[in-house]
Structure formats: C-alpha cells, structure tokens
Chains A and B, each alone.
Chain A
C-alpha cells in the first residue's frame, strides 16, 4: 500500500476535520476563518496535485487496485480544485447577504471536493461508487441549505429521490458486471471481457446499460435530465454554481474509466447508446432553452445541451485519438464558462431579491459595463463565437467527429449549435441594445474586490484561452494517452 500518492485526499480529509473543530469554536463574528481555511486547503491541495502532475512518470495503482494515479486523474483534480476555488469566492457574498448556512456550505463543499477527488482516482467499482455517493450526499444537503425556501426544499427532495434511483441503477449494473466477470477492478475488467465470448458478455452488456443510465443521470442528459432545470432553478445560486461546474468534470472522468478503460471491447454498444443520448440532449436542451424566461433555467437547459456535446467526443474517441481529448477540453472549458455565468447571476441578485429573469439583464451595459462585457464573453463562449474558448472546444469536437467518419453527427451538432446561439445572443442583445427597467436604473451593482477580481480573471481566461488555446489542448491530449 502506497499512502504517499493519496496525499491530496488524505490532506483534504485531515483539514476537513480540523476545519470542523475550528468552526465550532470560533464566534460568529470570525466565521470568515472557516472560509479562509477552506480556500487555503484548496490552494495547498492544488499545489500538491500540481507537484504530482509535474513529477509524473508512470501510472501507479495502489490500495489493492482501488486507487490509480495517472494523468487523467491528476488533470481532473487540477480542474476541479481550481473551479471549486473560484466557486467558493463567488458564493461568499451571496451566502453572507442571505445568511444561509455559511460555514456548512464550505464544509459540505469540501466534502464534495473530496468525493470528486476519490472519483477521479477511482479504479474499482467500489471506489467509484463511494466517491460518487460522497459527492451526491453533500450536494443533496447543499441544495436544501436554504431552509426557509420551499422551492429549494422541493428541488432537494427531487434531486435526492431521483439521484438515489440513479445510484441504484448504477449499483445494479455494477453488481451484474461483477457477477459475470467476478472482478470489480477496472484494470482486470477489460481483459476478462475481451476474452469472454459474446454470449457470456450478455450480462456485462446489461450491466453496462444500467451503469450508463446511472452515469448519464449525473451528467444530466436527455432522457435523464428532468432534475436539472428544477434543481438549478430551485437551489440557491451559490449552490447551482457549484453543481453546474466541478461535478461534471468528475463524472466525465468516471465515465472515461468505465467505458474506455474498462469496457472498451463493448464500444459498438455504448457508442450506439451515446449517439442517441447525445442527439436527444443537443436537441432537447437547445430547443427547450429558447422557451425559458428565467436565466437559471435557461442555463440549465443549455447545460443539458453542452453535456450532449461532451458525449460526442466520447463517441468519436474509439475511432480517432482526438476524440477523448476534445471531450476533456470541452468539458473543462464549459465548466469554466458555466461557473462564470452563474457567478454573474449571483452578483446581480441583491439582498433578498433574486434577479434571475431575462428581463433583469436588460441594459446591463448601462448599469455596469464591465460585468456586461464579462457576461458577453461568457455567452459568446457558450455559443461558440470565435475569439472565445468555446469556439475551439466546439471546433475540436467537430474535427474529431469528422475524422471518426461521423459526418452526419457533426452536421447535426452544428445545426443545434446554431439553434443554441439564438438564446445566448439574445442575452447579449438584451444587455447592450435595450434600456434597463425603470426601477433598476438606479440600483447599483456592487461587487467586493475579491469577487470582482475572480470574475474578471474568469472572463479574461475565456478570452485568453480562446486566443491561445494550444497549451490547454495539449494538456488534455497528454492526459488521454
């Protein structure tokens, strides 16, 4: 057993216990200590993972096959730690103004980060399941943190019941695969499935379908998307921002492990399922988003569509080298953009009032030009307009699809992207070419310097990586070897 390679997880857990104790004994005035300690933990863990990343030489498996250290795991962890760091900065003010579960939010968030780290490094069904559950359990509670809001409670209930069902399906699928192959180790699974006859693999196939249902639920794609708009809309914006970002990267990593590293010999079967799901999500997400008047719901449907695009990369993966890295790049950029967009909603909303109607964004340029410009960059990136990073993400995916001879799928993806561009650009139009609502003209949008810096970095990053994407794309490519 090699404990040293699991230091990021061990460190987060130890800090978590420490923070719990500190939080109990600090008076309410100094509750900011909890926040600062959580952020410090994230930074230190990031540095620790970064050291591992820079000194990486070859794959290490430890804890009896339960834990793996490889480029994919390390890169996923880097992404999710950075994203969470930004998310917590954005959430700080929102939570302070509303006084909803301030230290609980960060502590549950840190537990979710631990769960995601475990998922990223999981190499057996047991750890995948446990990591996923640790993440989901924290998220369910975070959605319900606003105890006085009936909508948040309803969203949490929905999320919990449907999430439990999805986990049940996942577990059922895993048990079937275990029954057929007698192993839960991803590293051995591939060989066993390869050697077995087609008839023997029928059980594995059925297990695969159940597992996919569970995983696709976590992604939130059609037909497992029902929870997404309700939860994104019902949860406090600070929580939505978290759910919409980092967990997606972790779910992607787990999907890669199961489908690509574990069951690559069943690629024809899972490719077929994913094609159906991807087309439905791109269609459903983009079309339904048009009809929304609430920006949180709109972004929820847009996230369904974006997850459909990510699946395109996994579909192209077996036929071309670029597929997986394009998917990784897409999801990493989406997470960056989504976190920023929800952060703008959190900044806009004032004490007690949630300004999340599309109408509220009317004439934002006149009220706060810088925030409007950042929102413009984020919306352009989601739509895939050239100087932003979203363009290269979409381009990479389409390129991979064409190389893998899925030209019809690439064409379809393009059509849906154009449909999607409508509602992203509508927000830009509202912000720049319309007058603000009369009662909002005088209302100042105030940002604390920390949030201003974070959202600015986020916005500039969208532009920066759009102009110079190669280093990031290379990072994603190297993680998929």
Chain B
C-alpha cells in the first residue's frame, strides 16, 4: 500500500463512518456536525483527485456557509427526538431489505471489474503550472454557459420561493 492509498483509505473511512453517523445519531446537532465531517473527508478525497478548486469550494461553501446556517436552524427548532424513532422497529426490517437489495446490486455492478484501474486509468500528473480554476473558468462561461445560466435562474427561484413562503402581510 502506497502512502497515497493510505491517505485515500483514511479519508474514505472517515467519510463513510461520519455519513452513517449523520443518520444514526439521535441528536440533530450532532448529526449536522457529522455532516460537516463528511464534507471535510470528501474534500480530502477530491484533493487526491487533483480537483483542488472543488475541494476548497466544498469546504468554503458547504462547511463554512451552508452547514453553519443549517446548524443554526437545527438549534432553533425544537426537534422531538423521541418522536423521530417512532415506528423504527416496525419499518426497520423493510428498510433493511431495501438497503440490502440496492446495496447488493450496486456492489455487484459497480466493482473493480468495471471501474478498476484497467478500464478507468487514473488521471496523469498534471504539470506544475496547471490551474484548475483556469480550466473551469474556461469552460464554465463558454461550453457550459447555458447550464450555468439555468443554475442562476434556479437560485432566483429559490429566493422568490423563500420570500413568498415566509413573508406575511401585516394584518390591518
């Protein structure tokens, strides 16, 4: 095992573990914090894939902004922890069955046989002056201008939706 692989496995283990804990922990605040940890570990994996810009954006935007906001919301809401596990025993066998089927099929199909290094070679080492941001910038406003604009419209929709749902006219 090379050093590179060691780092990869370390990050992946943390990501999978914390991802599980997001759903398993019965304290919502702890769940949100585990989600932060998942994002951190994932950004480490992305760094290994030489996607340093995306990795940094993940930390900045999701960990820095989205999750912080999320934590505030979770802390402000009074979540009924006991009620959350209502019906857990009843639905667990069914859920377990569904998970087993989906996971089983996925593992069968997506495995080293089809996504191994032989069929999907690792990307080569880029030269020192290679810049991710530059490359993304080059295609984002040219080849992907149309999808980029649509995502902007989606943000506009989100703003309009949020305002129209939370705004209440003052009663006269």
Q: Which residues of A are in contact with B by a Cβ distance under 8 Å?
A: 1, 6, 13, 20, 63-64, 66-67, 101, 104, 107-108, 111, 114, 118, 126-127, 130-131, 133-134, 137-138, 140-141, 144-145, 147, 176, 179-180, 199-200, 202-203, 205-206
B108 nearest in chain A by CB position: A202
Q: Are A180 and B114 in contact (CB under 8 A)?
A: yes
Q: Which residues of A contact B168 (CB under 8 A)?
A: 147
Closest beta carbon of chain B to A169's beta carbon, Å: 10
The 21 listed contacts between A and B (C-beta, < 8 Å) are A1-B145, A63-B145, A64-B143, A64-B144, A66-B144, A67-B146, A101-B164, A108-B161, A126-B147, A127-B146, A130-B150, A130-B151, A130-B154, A137-B154, A141-B164, A145-B165, A179-B110, A179-B115, A202-B109, A203-B109, A203-B114
Q: Are A130 and B110 in contact (CB under 8 A)?
A: no
Q: How far is the CA of A101 from the CA of B115 in the complex (A)?
A: 50
Q: Are A134 and B157 in contact (CB under 8 A)?
A: yes
Binary per-residue interface labels of chain B (131-172) against chain A in the complex, 1 for a CB within 8 Å, 0 otherwise:
000000000001111110011011011101100110010000
Q: Are A144 and B146 in contact (CB under 8 A)?
A: no
Q: Are A206 and B154 in contact (CB under 8 A)?
A: no
Please give 9 more A-B residue pairs, beta carbons under 8 A apart, in addition to A6-B146, A202-B109: A63-B145, A67-B146, A104-B160, A114-B153, A131-B150, A144-B165, A147-B165, A179-B110, A206-B106
Number of A-B contacts (CB under 8 A): 77
- Which of A67, A137, A199 sits near B157, CB closer than 8 Å? A137
Q: Which residues of B contact A20 (CB under 8 A)?
A: 160
Closest beta carbon of chain A to B99's beta carbon, Å: 14
Residue B81 interfacial (CB < 8 Å): no
B114 nearest in chain A by CB position: A203
A-B residue pairs, 6 tightest by C-beta: A141-B161, A63-B146, A104-B164, A64-B143, A130-B150, A206-B109
Q: Which residues of B contact A64 (CB under 8 A)?
A: 142-144, 146
Q: Which secondary structure dominates where chain A touches chain B?
A: helix
Q: Which secondary structure dominates where chain B touches chain A?
A: helix
B156 nearest in chain A by CB position: A111
Interface residues of B in 104-134 (CB under 8 A from A): 105-106, 109-110, 114-115
Q: Are B154 and A134 in contact (CB under 8 A)?
A: yes
Q: Which residues of B contact A126 (CB under 8 A)?
A: 144, 147
A145 nearest in chain B by CB position: B164
Q: Are A127 and B164 in contact (CB under 8 A)?
A: no
Q: Are B165 and A66 in contact (CB under 8 A)?
A: no
- Which of A101, A118, A179, A203 sits near B150, CB closer than 8 Å? A118
Q: How far is the CA of A227 from the CA of B164 in the complex (A)?
A: 23
A141 nearest in chain B by CB position: B161
